[in-house]
Amino acid sequence: VDAFQSWCGPCKTVVDLFRKIRNEVGSDLLRFAGAEVDSIDALEKYRGKCEPVFLFYAGGELVAVVRGVNAPLLQKTILEQL
């Protein structure tokens, strides 16, 4: 989940990375979503930040968090979680 604020918008540069990985591993294993933290109370702790935050969930549980646009770290985290 790309957790973003309305004034900053979703991180569009990472969408291509997720698409690439999703094509490599199969679409059934990986889902990407954006969530505007201003309108979701459960994500309130991510408000007021100007860096993107990527939340990784498995089985409905938060399993990893990556702060900032770090493509190698995002790719590593995705592949580790899969």
Report yes or no: 30 and 20 within 8 Å, Cβ to Cβ.
no
CATH code at position 38: 3.40.30.10
Q: Provide φ and ψ at 29, rounded to 5°.
A: -90, -20
Residue-level pLDDT at 9: 65
- Give the chain's residues under pLDDT 70: 9-10, 50
What one-character DSSP code corresponds to residue 69?
Answer: -
**Among the listed residues 10, 12, 3, 18, the one whose alpha carbon sits nearest the alpha carbon of residue 81:** 18
Parent domain of 21: 2-81
Q: Provide the token pair at 57.
A: 């969930």
Per the structure, how many domains does the chain have?
1
- Average pLDDT taken over every residue of the chain: 85
Residue 62: what pLDDT?
94
pTM: predicted TM-score of the whole model, two decimal places: 0.78
pLDDT (0 to 100) of residue 12: 73
